[in-house]
């Protein structure tokens, strides 16, 4: 099976803060693949690298066989039409109603007749169960409804690759299950490849065909959901079972507390 996304020896930093240091992974076409990791592990950054929003300092990202970061701006925009994105905060336009939010990428990129726009938007909203909410404003929607509208907009241009950035965050159990089912159903009904970035282990493993776990800039675990859950890796055991003790650090890197609190610190000395 061909790979929809190929990432090889990926390096990226925000200034002195190293995020990836040789990340390599594959996203097979037609599958739902979860990218798991603790907060700050670079999951959302990885999506930006795949979409060409950020350039790597080293390595290569290929989507549908094309090196993303070697494309001209025009070719990159063309590639992005094949990529749908469900943002972590939904990213809906607050001054547009539900219908016009979903219609926006269709009008912006293809300029079809309005009757065709209407038909496409209603079909996309029907797919996520919100055709009856087309006249509502984003501020009047619940959290689960907001995510579903964002999903309808993400599939509005019939992309081949769909990326979800923390789709389960902040949802009640019923809304969370709705989103899980929609991710699976959309992938199968539309023949998509889906990348689900999340720290919600339970839901991600329930919806995905394959999963990668990243930490300290590298892949520390990969496999089917069953392989991830049964792994003997100390990191995966801690992460999957949400254990407080293990290799995952709680404190962000910093000097020893004694050094920060020492009485003869430069700041304290200068105060006198």
Transcribe the chain into DSSP letters.
--EEEEEEEEEEEETTEEEEEEEEEEEETT-EEEEE--TTSSHHHHHHHHTTSS--SEEEEEETTEEGGGS-HHHHHHHHTTEEEEBTTB---TTS-HHHHHHHHHHHHH---HHHHHHHHHHHHHHTT-GGGTT--GGGS-HHHHHHHHHHHHTTT--SEEEEESTTTT--HHHHHHHHHHHHHHHHHHT-EEEEEES-HHHHHHH-SEEEEEETTEEEEEE-HHHHHT---HHHHHHHTT-SSSSS-SSPS---HHHHH-TT-HHHHHH-
What's the pLDDT at 107? 96
Q: Does residue 50 lie in a domain region? A: yes
Whether residue 114 lies inside any domain: the answer is no
Domain boundaries, position 25: 3-82+159-271
Average pLDDT, the chain: 89
Q: Read off the pLDDT of each residue in 203-214 and give the average, rounded to a whole number.
A: 92
Does residue 152 lie in a domain region? no
- Cα dist. 125→59, 136, 152, 194, 248 in Å? 39, 12, 6, 19, 41
Check: CB of residue 151 under 8 Å from CB of residue 128. Answer: yes
> What is the domain-level CATH number for residue 236?
3.40.50.300
Residue 172 has pLDDT above 90, yes or no: no
In-domain check, residue 129: no
Question: What pTM did the predictor assign?
Answer: 0.85
Residue 88 resides in a domain: no
What are the structure tokens assigned to 34, written together?
A: 């979860």
Q: Are 23 and 43 in contact, with CB atoms under 8 Å apart?
A: no
- Give CA–CA dist 147/112, Å, rounded: 26
Q: Residue 68 falls within a domain, yes or no? A: yes
Task: Give the pLDDT confidence of 232-245 residue by residue, as tens digits.
Answer: 887 787 778 776 66
Could you give the C-alpha distances from 243 to 181, 239, 246, in angstroms and in order? 28, 7, 7
- Give domain status of residue 231, yes or no: yes
Is residue 142 situated within a structural domain?
no
- What tens digit of pLDDT does each residue of 209-263 get? 999 999 888 998 899 999 998 888 877 877 787 766 666 666 666 788 788 787 5
Query: Percent of the chain at pLDDT above 70?
Result: 92
Q: Domain count of the chain?
A: 1
């Amino acid at each position: 099976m061909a790979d929809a996304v190929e990432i090889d020896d990926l390096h990226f930093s925000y200034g002195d803060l190293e995020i990836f240091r040789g990340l390599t992974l594959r996203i097979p076409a037609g599958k739902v693949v979860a990218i798991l990791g603790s907060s700050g592990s670079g999951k959302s950054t990885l999506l930006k690298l795949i979409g060409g929003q950020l350039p790597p300092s080293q390595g290569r990202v290929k989507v549908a066989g094309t090196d993303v970061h070697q494309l001209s701006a025009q070719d990159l925009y063309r590639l992005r039409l094949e990529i749908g994105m469900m943002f972590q905060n939904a990213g809906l336009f607050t001054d547009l109603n539900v219908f016009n939010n979903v219609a926006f990428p269709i009008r912006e990129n293809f300029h079809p007749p309005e009757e065709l726009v209407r038909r496409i938007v209603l079909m996309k909203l029907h797919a996520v169960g919100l055709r009856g909410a087309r006249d509502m404003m984003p501020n009047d929607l619940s959290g689960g409804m907001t995510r579903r509208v964002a999903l309808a907009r993400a599939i509005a241009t019939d992309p081949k690759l769909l990326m979800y950035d923390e789709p389960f965050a902040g949802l009640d159990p019923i809304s969370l299950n709705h989103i899980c089912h929609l991710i699976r159903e959309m992938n199968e009904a539309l023949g998509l490849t889906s990348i689900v970035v999340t720290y919600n282990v339970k839901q991600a493993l329930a919806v995905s065909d394959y999963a990668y776990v990243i930490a300290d800039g590298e892949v520390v675990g990969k496999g089917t959901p069953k392989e991830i859950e049964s792994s003997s890796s100390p990191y995966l055991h801690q992460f999957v079972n949400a254990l407080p003790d293990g290799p995952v650090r709680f404190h962000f890197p910093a000097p020893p507390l004694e050094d920060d609190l020492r009485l003869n610190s430069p700041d304290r000395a200068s105060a006198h």
